[in-house]
Chain A
Amino acid sequence: MSEAREFKYVGTRSIRPDGFDKVTGRANYAADLDLPGMIWGRILRSPHAHARITRLDTTRAEALPGVMGVATFKDFPAVSTEEFQSGEGSTALNDLARNILADDKVLYHGHAVCAIAATSEALAEQALDLIDIEYDVLPPVMDVADAMKDDAPLLHEDMFTEGLEEKPSKPSNIALRFELKKGDIEQGFKEADLVIEREFYTPTVHQGYIEPHACTVRYDNAGTSMVYCSTQGHFDVRAATAKLLDMELGKIKVVPSEIGGGFGGKTTIYLEPVAMILSQKSGRPVKMVMDRDEVFMASGPGSATRNWVKIGAKKDGTLVAMQARLCYEAGAFPGSPMRPGVMTVFTPYDIENAFVEGYDVVVNKPKVAAYRAPGAPQSEFACEMLINEIARELDMDPIDLRLKNAAREGTQTLYGPKLKKVGLVECLEAVKASDHYRSALKENQGRGVAAGFWFNIGGPSSVSINMNPDGTAILIEGNPDIGGSRASMQLMAAETLQLPLDDVKPLVGDTDVLAYSGATGGSRTTFATGMATIQAAEDIVRQFKERAASTWNVTPEQVEYANGTVTNTAGDDSMTVAEICAGADRTGGHISGRGNINARGAGPSFAVHLADVECDAETGRCWVVRYTACQDAGKAIHPSYVEGQYQGGAAQGIGWALNEEYIYNEDGRLENPGFLDYRIPLASDLPMIETIIVEVPNDFHPFGVRGVGESGIIPPLAAVGDAVAGAAKINVTELPLSPPRVLKAIAEGASA
């Protein structure tokens, strides 16, 4: 890659091609499709956190006029324990099935038990009341620490901890133990002048996408069944639905709607197979839409964690040993993002001696789903809080301490590879040089800084570009556009095709029109699908040259292509793209290009955030007064949407730090399944979020792209956490820093 490359479109702030539809209400989201003859499905959910179902009788419900189908776990053909990969995680198929509809036990408040389809939503709801169900209520386990105790009630009697040297003799709620180490941790701590250790708690949080899960499904016995839904990965919805229902993959078409937010939470499935069963039974298309409380109770939360971290440093600030024990709640079934938590926790630091162990633990809460940089915010929060404490103890500037130990090109990571070129140092320096960092704080204010690391992923992406006879291009990608990806594909395609931006029309294709593409997740789309786009466009440019060359009877090497025109270097002929495309049937048929890749070489993205927080000591309320988010984009294809990712990640992280948490009562019932009580940041809660885009190119992408979607949610937890500690003059070890918690800490500090 040539670093000095001049771009015409890449790096500009174009108007997104799907914008018109989205500001006029024309764009169709998951709940916006009705089909002729369509009926509605609703789900009966468990009122208990942990119980055995002793009786389930739907006779009375089925007798209600207008009820057309019932689905329970028994409608799943026997599903295997095979691991199913989707988005950023994997789940055993039978766990996926038992999460979608409970088998003999319900494992969390809101766990789906039975579904009914009827001619109207209200009627389906009414029929749910006629289901006769009885439970034998069991004691719930609601916290990772309790769940790990020897005498804890068991969620799954057949679950034995994996990853131990010897197979345990007793079942446990601990699904997996995983560790990574390098160097000699004990020796490292011996060399330290200062050693600090602390345990941190982070609560269960929700991705909080504004669009609830929804789908419309039509089963077709003879032909192709159709699933219309909001998902980050429609190819994965197809695969999961086929496996769970033992249907042929090729006989399911998944059409992705516009997606109203996902943040990882829409990389899995909940409603789609249920609607398929109901459609099969009723012979009618079935629509299902979750209510907001269902979204909170039974979809996607992010893991609560208890993470203990111990760090040793020399007097001069050199970090010599880092150790952690990370305990992640998986919810009702194994599969928390503990592993990436372990892998990322210390990656911002070049450290010789490190030891990290992690535990994946089931509790009576909804099965967790990926949430933006899954697992990393929790573990890195703990590390970054301690790093700031060490800086204070050593009387060092927290950015200088980080610069002294920063991971850079060649640093050996704990999780495996040596880092290639990365931009952590550049981010730290940019924040240090910012006006914000040099500004003074007012009374009752505190300032916190934190770094964040996320790997980013590549993976399979497919793109095809079809040239129209007028010389315009249709670009089909397989990645739902969750935050402006059509805009960035359009920019990269126009750049490579050297055609006007408006001549490239990007679309998101369904599973029938394109080869497999991995989900929009892992910050992979601009990187991997971008590479497929560039490849498809290069394929087209090659054909432009071939077609012109064959017209002029010269070799393709004798022609040149620039700005929409092919010229003959051996003569003075030239042809525009419009002419080539109009005459394509005379030179071998119309032109299309393909990019089908499994992208390697994803470039990690480091972020550094700076937060100023003010505290009202009387009420305990803390709020952010100034915020800067700095991150390495590699190359910002569309700077506005890159900034948007930084700002959105920061806002979610701020919410996580200050307000957001699942609140359960002692019976394990969720008490705040709504936006009123699960309070995500409002416009009035936040200041402008200043952004600094650092560009240290990723050499593995033709334009230098790294992904930017995820790292931005990592640093806010500790940046805000540390700022609150300063503003309120308290020790911070637990999130969220909601008024009651801060007030209590202030009171304890005063009495201590």
Chain B
Amino acid sequence: MKTHVTTTINGEEVEFLCEPHETLLDALRNHVGLTGTKEGCGSGDCGACSVTVDGELVCSCLVLAPEAEGKSIGTIEGIADHDKLHVIQEKFLEHAALQCGICTPGLIVSTKALLEENPNPTEEEARYYLAGNLCRCTGYDKIIRAVLDAAETMKGAA
């Protein structure tokens, strides 16, 4: 028996059918067609699947799809305003904070959550907040620089 789920994704109401045991990650990718959210481990260890549920940062591989019922989900596809990139996205590009880019959607979603919680993070705070988002390519240096620069820029704009 499939479960019918009504939820809001990036501000739009969405309905989908899923197996009760399926994860939110699988539902987003396989039933809603939003493949920007990535799977690196399926066990909550890599952060590639980061999304927000009612504003809270979660690993979508650890959330069951039916739990999305009535909630508001935020994914990487909702960060930019159409063609206008979010400051965080711009800073990731300017600082070359991605190489292969598989970790990037998760990191950008997590960074947005970080800066909403703490608009003025120190390097150490940023490193600990993002410790759940693995990147194997960059050694994190340019990612952290992009995050701190984005924070600076967003403060200036506020």
A residues lining the B interface (CB < 8 Å): 13, 15-16, 18-20, 22-29, 31-32, 34, 122, 207-212, 258-263, 289, 291-292, 482-484, 638, 640-641, 643-644, 647-648, 650-652, 674-676, 680-686, 688-689
Q: Are A29 and B136 in contact (CB under 8 A)?
A: no
Chain A residue nearest to B35 in the complex (CB)? A32
Please, how many angstroms separate the alpha-carbon atoms of A680 and B140 in the complex? 12
Report the separation of the CA atoms of residues A598 and B21 in the bound assembly, to the nearest whole angstrom: 52
Contact of A647 among B100, B128, B141 (CB under 8 A): B141
Selected contact of A261 from candidates B123, B136, B139, CB within 8 Å: B136
Cβ contacts under 8 Å, B128 to chain A: 683-684
* A23:B138 contact, CB within 8 angstroms: no
Is B153 positioned at the interface, with any CB of A under 8 Å from its CB?
no
> In whole angstroms, how far apart are the Cα atoms of A90 and B142 in the complex?
35
Distance, CA A34 to CA B35, complexed state (A): 10
Question: Complex Cα distance A209/B38, Å?
Answer: 13
Of B92, B139, B142, which is within 8 A of A686 by CB? B139
Please, could you name 27 A-B residue pairs with CB atoms under 8 Å apart, sorted by A?
A15-B93, A19-B92, A23-B80, A23-B101, A24-B77, A24-B79, A25-B34, A25-B75, A26-B36, A31-B39, A208-B136, A210-B102, A210-B134, A211-B38, A260-B38, A261-B102, A291-B42, A483-B100, A644-B99, A644-B142, A647-B138, A675-B46, A681-B140, A683-B131, A684-B128, A688-B123, A688-B144
Contact B139–A260 (Cβ < 8 Å)? no
Does B137 lie within 8 Å of A644, measured CB to CB? yes
- Closest-CB distance, B49 to chain A (whole angstroms): 11
Q: What string of 1s and 0s marks CB contacts (under 8 Å) between B53-92 and chain A? A: 0000000000000000000000111011000010001001
Is B96 in contact with A24, judged by CB distance below 8 angstroms? no
- By the criterion CB–CB under 8 Å, are B101 and A683 in contact? no
Interface residues of B (CB under 8 A from A): 19, 21, 29-30, 34-43, 45-46, 48, 75-77, 79-80, 85, 89, 92-96, 98-105, 108, 123-124, 126-128, 130-145
Q: In the assembled complex, which residues on chain A have CB atoms less than 8 Å from the CB atom of B19?
A: 122
Q: Is the CB of B85 within 8 A of A20?
A: yes
- Given A640-B95, A680-B134, A683-B140, also A260-B127 (CB < 8 A): no
Task: With A484-B99, A651-B139 as known contacts, state yes or no: A683 contacts B92, CB within 8 Å.
Answer: no
Contact of B104 among A23, A34, A638, A674 (CB under 8 A): A23
B136–A210 CB distance below 8 A: yes
Bound complex: CA A28 to CA B143 (Å): 21
Query: By the criterion CB–CB under 8 Å, are B137 and A483 in contact?
Result: yes
Closest to A20 in B: B85
User: 11 more A-B contacts (CB under 8 A) besides A648-B138, A675-B40, A682-B131?
Assistant: A20-B85, A24-B85, A28-B35, A209-B100, A210-B38, A211-B38, A260-B40, A292-B40, A652-B136, A675-B45, A688-B145
| A688–B124 alpha-carbon span in the complex (Å) | 11
User: What's the Cα separation between A193 and B109 when bound, in Å?
Assistant: 60
Q: Which 3 A-B pairs have the closest CB atoms?
A: A25-B36, A260-B102, A651-B139
Instruction: Find out whether the CB atom of B137 lies under 8 angstroms from the CB atom of A22.
Output: no
Contact across chains for B142 and A647 when beta carbons are under 8 A apart:
yes
Q: Are A211 and B102 in contact (CB under 8 A)?
A: yes
Q: How far is the CA of A26 from the CA of B89 in the complex (A)?
A: 13
Which of chain A's residues have a CB closer than 8 A to the CB of B139? 644, 647-648, 650-651, 681, 686, 689
Contacts of B76 in A (CB 8 A): 24-25
B100 touching A260, Cβ below 8 Å: yes
Given contacts A25-B105, A31-B39, A484-B96, contact A261 B137 (CB under 8 A): yes
A560 to chain B, nearest CB (A): 36
Query: In the complex, what distance in Å separates the CA atom of A260 from the CA atom of B75?
Result: 19
Write the chain A residue with the least CB distance to B90: A23
CB of A209 within 8 A of CB of B136, answer: yes
Determine how close the nearest CB of chain B comes to the CB of A186; give it in whole angstroms.
Answer: 44
Structural contact, B75 and A210, CB atoms closer than 8 A:
no
Please give, as numbers and ranges, the residues of chain A lying within 8 Å of B43 by CB-CB distance. Answer: 292, 674-676
Query: Separation in Å of the B10 CB from the closest CB of chain A?
Result: 11
Q: How far is the CA of A259 from the CA of B93 in the complex (A)?
A: 18
Q: Do the beta carbons of A210 and B138 come within 8 Å of each other?
A: no
B3 CB to nearest chain A CB (Å): 14
Contact A27 B101 (CB under 8 A): yes
Residues A210 and B103 in contact, CB atoms below 8 Å apart: yes
A211 to B35, CA, bound (A): 13
- Are the CB atoms of A23 and B130 closer together than 8 Å? no
Check B136 against A263 for contact (C-beta < 8 Å).
yes
Known: A20-B85, A32-B35, A688-B144. A651 touches B134 (CB 8 A): no
Q: How far is the CA of A207 from the CA of B140 in the complex (A)?
A: 17
Which chain A residues lie closer than 8 Å to B96 at the CB level? 13, 16, 484, 638, 640-641, 643-644
Closest to B34 in A: A25
Q: Is A23's CB under 8 angstroms from B134's CB?
A: no
For B130, the closest partner residue in chain A by CB is A683
Q: Could you tell me if A23 and B89 are in contact, using CB atoms closer than 8 angstroms?
A: yes
Q: Of A258, A262, A263, which contacts B101 at CB under 8 A? A: A258
A19 to B142 CA separation, bound complex (whole angstroms)? 15
Q: CB < 8 Å: which of B37, B45, B93, B136 contacts A676?
A: B45
Chain B residues with CB under 8 Å of A652's CB are 136
What's the minimum C-beta distance from B82 to chain A, rounded to whole angstroms?
A: 10
Would you call B85 and A23 a contact (CB within 8 A)? yes
Question: Which B residues lie within 8 Å of A644 (CB)?
Answer: 96, 99, 137-139, 142
Do A34 and B30 have beta carbons less than 8 Å apart?
A: yes
Decide: B100 and A16 in contact? CB cutoff 8 A: no
Chain A positions within 8 Å of B38 at CB level:
29, 31, 210-211, 260
Which of A22, A212, A259, A676 is in CB contact (< 8 Å) with B98?
Answer: A22
Chain B residue at minimum C-beta to C-beta distance from A261: B100
Question: In the complex, how many angstroms separate the beta carbon of A708 from the nearest chain B beta carbon?
Answer: 12
Q: Are A683 and B98 in contact, with the CB atoms below 8 A?
A: no
Q: Are A22 and B104 in contact (CB under 8 A)?
A: yes
Instruction: Report if A675-B41 is in contact (Cβ < 8 Å); known contacts: A25-B105, A210-B48, A210-B102.
Output: yes
Are B30 and A23 within 8 A (Cβ)? no
A23 / chain B contacts, CB cutoff of 8 Å: 80, 85, 89, 92-93, 98, 101, 104-105, 108
Chain B residues positioned under 8 Å from A260 (CB to CB): 38, 40, 100-103
> Which residues of chain B are within 8 angstroms of A674 by Cβ–Cβ distance?
41, 43, 45
Assess whether A24 is in contact with B39, with CB atoms less than 8 Å apart: no
Say how far A27's CB is from chain B's closest CB, in angstroms: 6
Q: Which of B85, B100, B138 contacts A259 (CB 8 A)?
A: B100
Q: From A686, which residue of chain B is reached at the shortest CB distance?
A: B140
Cβ contacts under 8 Å, B34 to chain A: 25
Which residue of B is nearest A675, CB measured? B45
A292 → B minimal CB distance (Å)? 4
Q: How far is the CA of A122 from the CA of B20 in the complex (A)?
A: 12
* Residue from B45, B134, B140 whose CB has the most chain A CB atoms within 10 Å: B140
With contacts A210-B46, A260-B100, A644-B99 taken as known, whether A682 is within 8 angstroms of B141 at the C-beta atoms is no
**Cβ of B40 and Cβ of A651 under 8 Å apart?**
no
Most buried by B among A258, A291, A483: A483
Q: Chain B residues with Cβ under 8 A from A18's Cβ?
A: 101
Chain B hits for A650, CB < 8 A: 139
Q: Give the CA-CA distance A638 to B124 in the complex, in Å.
A: 28
- Min CB–CB distance A549 → chain B (angstroms): 41
A29 to B36, CA, bound (A): 9
| Residue of chain B at shortest CB distance from A678 | B45
